[in-house]
Structure 1
């Protein structure tokens, strides 16, 4: 750097490039590229050092702009021009950066550009001195990299002198032991080593110091500043100086405390597993992908009457009869191909005879996640199997009998055709249990002709799908009496899923159905009575109260015209306003009791009127879409029911839904008129709706009283739709 500075100073001092001494000076410097630029930055001279460093001969570069030595990204950023401007402004510009040789390769250059001025201070050009610093930059970068690795590596690194005292340690090692750099500098390796490991640590250290070995790897325990034990894997080596004498012993320290704990936990777990498999009553085994046994427990050996050396390393085909070995191999192949656990029941020939097992077979994976074999646990369920079958039959009958005491029960074997009826069932059917021989055909003969096809289809579907069924049916007794029954049955299956029998019970619900019909009739009469009472009250309000108030209004108006006293006129005007308001209230009450539009123009017009009044009162937008054919006559009972259901649904929406808009749709579908009231409110879960609340029972009763039906669809966050359908 000193030589370069002196050379640049000679150029800046105004040395004449044509002077022989100057040329000799420049040409004698081979480690530096020294050349002149004109005021525009074009190369004006070239020395051997420049040719060596940049690769251009003088004829190839003279007259060309010096920016060709810069990388494209620097040229695009305007760095060459900026350097000349700085040199012109400050007299000198020094930079380091990448430069480009003729062959396109790059080198790291240390560059000085000096402005050359004439006697009057005018700019005459520039002198440029460049030195190739690539090797020095690489060495500097490597030093920085080594420092970064030492400081930032997650592994601990520590250096100790020949006495074992710590000289250097990286942050990871300091964090591991909890010491500061100053505190650790006062410690030797023995001070931070667990007492049980100290002797061996010093022995290895002395071997390294004396040169008996150059490196060593071992595990040992450290003691942290707070006394915590830290397991670590140590990779230690001699670090000599340039003359080969020991400078430091360096150690790479990896904290393996958690790994050791995991290993110890695994060892304990393996011990527990071995104890479990040794004493478990279940048969346990492991096989490799080729089907060779790698592990079996004591129960396996006892059950099959084999010794361990006979089993380990051998396949099923070498141990068992062909059919049993093939069954085992087929199950294993299924687990291996699917890579998923499989549970099944099987019959196995043990040394003491055939037994029924429930087997859990599962894939065993290697460290890479590939299936390496098959494992299995087989539990003997022979006694449980027999007891379970008997218990299942009794439990089904008992459960049905407990649900509804006094039911008629039956049991049918589809394969044998045998059908057994209880005495109570015979009584329900009106037959003599002593003489009647039930069969499926005789049962179908007693089903009402209108229900026979549906009943036969339900039973056949239950047998085909191997599931239970429940339905209501009508039967005809021998005396011609029709009874209504609710029948429920369950299908019992064996281990392979085959139907063993069908058991069921029947409840006579004739009286219940009659009561329901009476209740519907009563509800219809109550609705009719309510509507009649509404009409009567509306007429009374109109004919009596309304007429009297109208007359009072006229009289007050006449008196008002005759009064001149201002206070009296104001009182009378207030009275007139009160009478008008009362008349309006009465009109609203009459409309609510019995909207005149309902009788005169039909349900569509009445709903439109009510929706407008509802929107004004609640602030909720209501759209009424009346697609009903006004030409089709609608029963008065049906019109009133739909109007009242719509009223109740709208009132519920205002109270509970927080809706912003509601759509009311009236449309004709076949022989029914259908009303839908849909809101965009918060909705609710129908199964959690409080019974007897929100008017749902009233709405359903009105629909059923008119011969129709009502349904409600809702879910949280998705609004509610009330749908009522009644016949014309």
Structure 2
């Protein structure tokens, strides 16, 4: 038989016949081995312990002997063998000898040993993990294993937890609602379940947990139990809530600023500018009635008044750009870029790739961030060109402002600039994001994204 070395032995254990496969496994030729005691196949310590003779005695007594162990090749190397010795009797039950079948199982043993070591390393890994509670449940939900992370997170030792029902980790209201059993049912039906919610420690305190329950099936798809991984997310949840609260407060502050800007803009437009316009008209009328040089002096006053009116109108535009309400975001940003970039001597462009107009709240935030970004270009970049690109991406507005200025190391881009902090806060308050990338000698890119509509969701309970 292939892979099976078949040998016959005489009653004293000397080799009587030898197959080619036996030669391949052991290394001897038939001429070298026939007539020699089969103990040459055994390691010296087994020979010294009398193992070869004992195996023959057992086979003669019971008819058969099976064993696994180390055997020796002709070159002295060892291999792991599966051996079966069968006693051969004549019709009068007189022992004629033995049939011996040997199979080299070294590869199988090495694979089994590698698997055992892998499983042991995995067991040690699971047991030593501190940040995750990893444990097993039987099909009924009772705890059958427990790692150090589970003890650290939940407070129970392995002796206290094993054998208990895992519902002891749930608040009373969840237990009363049948949540633990429902989670096992869903995991068994769908293969896994993931959940976040309150769990209870041994001391009664609560923590916010991320939980994954995985159903474990055998080869016949029979449920053997569940694997459960728990992570304490309390700190992350508190940090997220603090961030949401900060964003909410910043959002309220930004909203209050915009309301105040609008009020001041209206007051300046409806009162100060109108009054100045009336003064200018009276000065023009007066100048038309006075002789020189008084007429020229009054005309000079009128020019000063008109210049003041122009500056006030510029202030109104910066406080609350009328184009934003009248014509939309692109017109407002384009007008502002044309005005300031032209005044600063910068080549410029505005690319409109919007497929949807953002909400008024998002539009004013985009406009304010663009204002601050362009101001930074003027103050710090020493650029000759600036380009603004607006597009609709992922149900939101993506804006990219690029200059060809001196740039800076990425880690230092915008460091210490209050304007950059304000841009970040505005973007985050609108539930978006902002990034600044810069390369020395290659300019800076300010990129930010805002959702199309304001986020109206409240805090988690």
TM-score by length of 1: 0.35
* Residues 1:705 and 2:423 aligned together: no
Q: Which digits, 9 at most, give the CA deviation of each residue in 1:80-99, with x for residues without a partner? A: xxxxxxxxxxxxxxxxxxxx
* Residues 1:582 and 2:308 aligned together: yes
| Secondary structure at 1:509 match in 2 | helix
Q: Counterparts of 1:656-695 in structure 2 under 5 Å?
A: 656-689=380-413, 691-693=415-417, 695=419
Report if the CA contact (8 A) 1:679-1:721 is conserved. Answer: yes
Report if the CA contact (8 A) 2:289-2:295 is conserved. Answer: no
Q: Which digits, 9 at most, give the CA deviation of each residue in 1:630-679, with x for residues without a partner? A: xx342111000111111111111111111111110111124112111111
Report if the CA contact (8 A) 2:133-2:147 is conserved. Answer: yes
Report if the CA contact (8 A) 1:421-1:438 is conserved. Answer: no
* Aligned-pair CA distance for 1:512: 2.1
Report if the CA contact (8 A) 1:474-1:482 is conserved. Answer: no
* Aligned-pair CA distance for 1:436: 3.5
Look up the match of 1:557.
Answer: 284
Report if the CA contact (8 A) 2:280-2:305 is conserved. Answer: yes
User: How many aligned positions are there?
Assistant: 287
CA 1:562–1:622 in 2, change beyond 3 Å: closer, same or farther?
same
Report if the CA contact (8 A) 1:680-1:718 is conserved. Answer: yes
Q: Which of 149, 166, 170 matches 1:421?
A: 149
- 5+ long unaligned stretches in structure 2: 1-74, 78-123, 137-143, 170-178, 188-194, 212-228, 453-461
Task: Give the Cα separation in 2 of the matches to 1:608 and 1:584.
Answer: 20
Q: Which of 436, 439, 464 matches 2:161?
A: 436
Task: Give the Cα separation in 2 of the matches to 1:647 and 1:595.
Answer: 11
Q: Which of 529, 532, 536 matches 2:256?
A: 529
Q: Which of 620, 628, 638 matches 2:354?
A: 628
Task: Give the Cα separation in 2 of the matches to 1:512 and 1:562.
Answer: 72
* Aligned-pair CA distance for 1:540: 0.5
CA 1:485–1:559 in 2, change beyond 3 Å: closer, same or farther?
farther
CA 1:663–1:694 in 2, change beyond 3 Å: closer, same or farther?
farther
Look up the match of 2:342.
Answer: 616
Q: Which digits, 9 at most, give the CA deviation of each residue in 1:502-521, with x for residues without a partner? A: 9x987633222211111111
Look up the match of 1:571.
Answer: 297
Report if the CA contact (8 A) 2:391-2:399 is conserved. Answer: yes
CA 1:585–1:690 in 2, change beyond 3 Å: closer, same or farther?
closer
* Residues 1:511 and 2:238 aligned together: yes
Report if the CA contact (8 A) 1:485-1:508 is conserved. Answer: no
TM-score by length of 2: 0.53
CA 1:409–1:559 in 2, change beyond 3 Å: closer, same or farther?
same
Task: Give the Cα separation in 1 of the matches to 2:145 and 2:76.
Answer: 39
Q: Please, what is the CA RMSD of the aligned residues?
A: 4.3
* Aligned-pair CA distance for 1:696: 1.9
* Aligned-pair CA distance for 1:706: 1.8
Asked which structure has the greater CA Rg, the reply is 1
Report if the CA contact (8 A) 2:146-2:162 is conserved. Answer: no
CA 1:643–1:512 in 2, change beyond 3 Å: closer, same or farther?
same
* Residues 1:603 and 2:338 aligned together: no
Report if the CA contact (8 A) 1:620-1:661 is conserved. Answer: yes
| Secondary structure at 2:148 match in 1 | strand
Look up the match of 1:56.
Answer: none
Look up the match of 1:593.
Answer: 319
* Aligned-pair CA distance for 1:483: 2.3
Report if the CA contact (8 A) 2:382-2:406 is conserved. Answer: yes
Q: Which of 451, 458, 477 matches 2:199?
A: 477
CA 1:716–1:562 in 2, change beyond 3 Å: closer, same or farther?
same
| Secondary structure at 1:508 match in 2 | helix
| Higher relative contact order, structure no. (Cα contacts within 8 Å, ≥ 6 residues apart) | 2
Report if the CA contact (8 A) 1:534-1:593 is conserved. Answer: yes
Q: Which digits, 9 at most, give the CA deviation of each residue in 1:476-520, with x for residues without a partner? A: 4269x882679xxxxxxxxxxxxxxx9x98763322221111111
Task: Give the Cα separation in 1 of the matches to 2:327 and 2:425.
Answer: 25
Task: Give the Cα separation in 1 of the matches to 2:209 and 2:289.
Answer: 79
Report if the CA contact (8 A) 1:484-1:508 is conserved. Answer: no
| Secondary structure at 1:477 match in 2 | strand
Task: Give the Cα separation in 2 of the matches to 1:618 and 1:484.
Answer: 55
CA 1:575–1:638 in 2, change beyond 3 Å: closer, same or farther?
same
Task: Give the Cα separation in 1 of the matches to 2:328 and 2:158.
Answer: 60
